[in-house]
Amino acid sequence: MSVHQVTVSAPVNIAVVKYWGKRDTALLLPTNSSLSLTLSQDDLRSTTTVRIDPKFEADRLWLNGKEEDVTSNKRMVNVVRELRALRKSLQDADSALPVIDSWRMHVCSENNFPTAAGLASSASGFAALTFGIAQALDIAERIPRAQLSRLARLGSGSACRSLFGGFVAWNMGSAADGNDSVAEQVADESHWADMEALILVASDARKDTPSTAGMQLTVETSALLQSRIKDVVPKRMEEMRAAIAAKDYDAFAELTMKDSNQFHAVCLDTFPPISYMNDVSRAVVHLITSYNALFTQPGAAGGPKKGYRAAYTFDAGPNAVLYVRREHVAEVLAIVNAVFPVPTTDREAYLGRAAQYVGKEDVAGVASLVKKIGMAPFAAGSLRRIISTSVGDGPRVLGWGAENSLLGENGLPKTTA
Amino acid sequence: MSVHQVTVSAPVNIAVVKYWGKRDTALLLPTNSSLSLTLSQDDLRSTTTVRIDPKFEADRLWLNGKEEDVTSNKRMVNVVRELRALRKSLQDADSALPVIDSWRMHVCSENNFPTAAGLASSASGFAALTFGIAQALDIAERIPRAQLSRLARLGSGSACRSLFGGFVAWNMGSAADGNDSVAEQVADESHWADMEALILVASDARKDTPSTAGMQLTVETSALLQSRIKDVVPKRMEEMRAAIAAKDYDAFAELTMKDSNQFHAVCLDTFPPISYMNDVSRAVVHLITSYNALFTQPGAAGGPKKGYRAAYTFDAGPNAVLYVRREHVAEVLAIVNAVFPVPTTDREAYLGRAAQYVGKEDVAGVASLVKKIGMAPFAAGSLRRIISTSVGDGPRVLGWGAENSLLGENGLPKTTA
């Protein structure tokens, strides 16, 4: 075979113990461990086709239909170089393996969610890239997945978590070369099968501080970050692992919300301060807090309250991700829709797959809850859309050769922007 | 003399190192020291008339024209009891002093700023109450001012700082009975005479978490508060005292903004989280940050940047207080007005005394700055009004007997709500 071509997809992940701050900005080594849930690629994914071909003259990269200067993207260069080096070491050890590490490659990648959705695409993007190149070089199944996770980390820190499905911990590690700073699967996607996610995409005209710059400003200027790193996260990681192992939603929900709050607290303690949450985000927090309060009772001494129905978490932007058990999704969605009315036009695009839950709720019960919560409805358009999804698997091979390929026979993208 | 009647006023104070959290909720002892600037009573004040009269049958209290149940207000009862005990101890020691500690009192208090202005009135209110009763009992000049500060603290923690003019530190103290938890004047109002304040009153429909409840929730649930208390505030207090002593505006401004940010950070790290700042507050932060960035240069290693023009601080609400040197007030106000347009109606009420600065700015210079800052103007009404004021003196006696009295000859309020 003189050409190796593969098309893969990789998932988005949303952390419940947040990554914010690097101790090494070249190797992308974090100041604390983190833990995320991998979201289903049926709903959100980066798709990447990689072709290596002895006839190609140079590496080329297209992202969302637009060619990028591959040499100026240092992180991309690092990932590709390391993958080729891995291939070479395998070739050197086994003369039966064809010598393909020197072949140039064409990489074409796209996200099925618009950047305007406000979802970070670097994690799924670099996971797909790393997984795709590793498959094209025929090394993905010859090395531990943790190795691929390490390489994806060199592209984008949180990408290392998107190499696994289910519940994924990124252990910060301690080695200077970062070899132990990799993700591991805490539980697979079937472990807690009724865990769903609702993403409330908030409208926001303000341009956010990019997370790469923002997190280092926090490392440099926040007086409180060190306390989070040393005093809070190590314990929280253990508690979150235990909550997931036990499928203890109350513990999971409370830890998730507290960690989101604290991430945004250290952003605010940065100088100049960074604010990712806006008034719509604050209203979602208030809504979920008030809703949960209708059901929760004090837990055992020191433990979380009992009876949580929804847990919010916010990444570096105003969008809320709600982790909700399937039995409560219809109710949570109905309550969200009561405060953030579904637009009468574009209803289908706004709700997407969430439409399946509309009409499934106890309408009288929801009306009573909404009345108790007592929030005035926001103007239509405060939310831009709702994405309903679940916990899903790790990267997938979608096909070899022409199957599902983003590249045409000529090795160029089938579609360009 | 068979009746003692006095009318006093007391000022508002706005902290630059924030008080948030009590270590003793009965004695109102704080978890950390704080430091504030006393604002001029020419602009913002609580006025209180106190009459003690052997013919009165009971203590009575009117706040802003409405009678309050004085016995149900524990903090008020505590302050009055302690002041009477002080009077009694002075009488016991000096038989020449008339015995008046048992006389009942009528107290009438009002603020010259509407509660709707979003300014905390408890500090100036309890300072005026304490100072007024102490004057009526003729003890105010017989005991150290620190003693009165301690008593005001029993009414409302931050009231202890309103017993002094200028720059005032509230030392947290360490005694179990709180006797050393009192305010002291760091510098009087003439020390840094060109320090002005602009209060940007933000519109906000949301009801804020009361600070009394909010701060204890932070003490109970914030994992980061302990780091603020132990690692940050002690050093910051020293740095702030030094900045004030040296009239070092750069250091003052940076410390002020950092401490405001951190106060709101620990609010957000509370569970459930507390958000006092809204999108208008965030925009003010962005505006001042961008404006300062046009002038600031890195300072000496570890020190603040040089060239700050304005410093923001936010209390437990969305209003911004900007501390600005007089030479820059017109420019700062013009830039604020560019982003938050002055309403065409009610212009006088909106600007108040700030109107004196309008037209004094370098119009072309401001236009150039606004262009560089690049923020789109907000809708009119995003700010409700602007209050221009300066650093001012401590409580004042406004008159004895009928002079300036809020009580009529019959001992009842002249005006009721």
Supply the CATH number for residue B344's domain: 3.30.70.890
List the single residue in B228, B277, B278 with the smallest CB-CB distance to A224: B228
Domain presence at residue B406:
no
**Least confident residue range of A111-125, A290-304, B218-232, B367-381:** A111-125
Q: What is the ipTM of this complex?
A: 0.93
Q: What is the DSSP string of B119-135?
A: ---HHHHHHHHHHHHHH
- The pLDDT value recorded for residue B290 is 97
Statement to judge: residues A108 and A211 lie in one domain: no
First to last CA, chain A: 31
Give the CATH number, domain containing residue B80.
3.30.230.10
Statement to judge: residues A256 and A157 lie in one domain: no
Range of the domain at A310: 195-390
- The pLDDT value recorded for residue B207 is 66
Q: A227, B232: Cβ pair inside 8 Å?
A: no
- The pLDDT value recorded for residue B303 is 87
List the single residue in B226, B268, B285 with the smallest CB-CB distance to A265: B268
Statement to judge: residues B302 and B214 lie in one domain: yes
Domain presence at residue B71:
yes
d(CA B316, CA B209): 8
A206 to chain B: which residues are within 8 Å by CB? Answer: 286
Per-residue pLDDT of chain B (417 residues; tens, 9 = 90+): 567 999 999 999 999 999 999 999 999 999 999 999 999 999 999 999 999 999 999 999 999 999 999 889 899 999 999 999 999 999 999 999 999 999 999 999 999 987 666 677 899 999 999 999 999 999 999 999 999 999 999 999 999 999 999 999 999 999 999 999 999 999 999 999 999 999 999 976 666 778 888 999 999 999 999 999 999 999 999 999 999 999 999 999 999 999 999 999 999 999 999 999 999 999 999 999 999 999 999 988 878 999 999 999 999 999 999 999 999 999 999 999 999 999 999 999 999 999 999 999 999 999 999 999 999 999 988 999 999 999 999 999 999 999 999 999 999 999 866
Statement to judge: residues B134 and B267 lie in one domain: no
Structure tokens at B13: 């104070």
Q: What is the mean pLDDT of residues A168-176?
A: 97
Which residue in B has a C-alpha nearest to residue A223's C-alpha?
B232
Residue B103 three-state SS:
coil
A264 to chain B: which residues are within 8 Å by CB? Answer: 268
B265 to chain A: which residues are within 8 Å by CB? Answer: 224, 265-266, 268-269
List the single residue in B227, B272, B285 with the smallest CB-CB distance to A273: B285
B306 pairs with which residues across the strands?
B297
Statement to judge: residues A241 and A382 lie in one domain: yes
Statement to judge: residues A233 and A363 lie in one domain: yes
Statement to judge: residues B183 and B199 lie in one domain: no
Percent of chain A at pLDDT exceeding 90: 90
What's the total number of domains in chain B?
2
- The pLDDT value recorded for residue B304 is 93
Domain presence at residue B44:
yes
Domain presence at residue B228:
yes
Domain presence at residue A416:
no
CB B386 within 8 A of CB B355: no
Nearest to B310 by CA among B373, B265, B245: B373
- The pLDDT value recorded for residue B115 is 67
Domain presence at residue B80:
yes
Statement to judge: residues B331 and B376 lie in one domain: yes
- The pLDDT value recorded for residue A123 is 94
Q: A224, B254: Cβ pair inside 8 Å?
A: no
Statement to judge: residues A249 and A380 lie in one domain: yes
Domain presence at residue B415:
no
Task: Kindly report the average pLDDT of chain A as a whole number.
Answer: 94
Domain presence at residue B409:
no
pLDDT of A117 over the 70 cut: no
Question: What one-character DSSP code corresponds to residue B413?
Answer: B
CB B390 within 8 A of CB B40: yes
Q: How far is CA A66 from CA A70, A169, A231, A361, in A?
A: 12, 33, 44, 43
- The pLDDT value recorded for residue A205 is 64
Per-residue HEC secondary structure of A191-229 comes to: CCCCEEEEEEEECCCCCCCCHHHHHHHHHHHCCCHHHHH
Statement to judge: residues B181 and B209 lie in one domain: no
Statement to judge: residues B24 and B90 lie in one domain: yes
- A&B contacts, CB < 8 Å: 87
Which residue in B has a C-alpha nearest to residue A226's C-alpha?
B227
Burial of B265 (0-12, 13-18, 19+ CB in 10 A): buried
Statement to judge: residues A172 and A261 lie in one domain: no
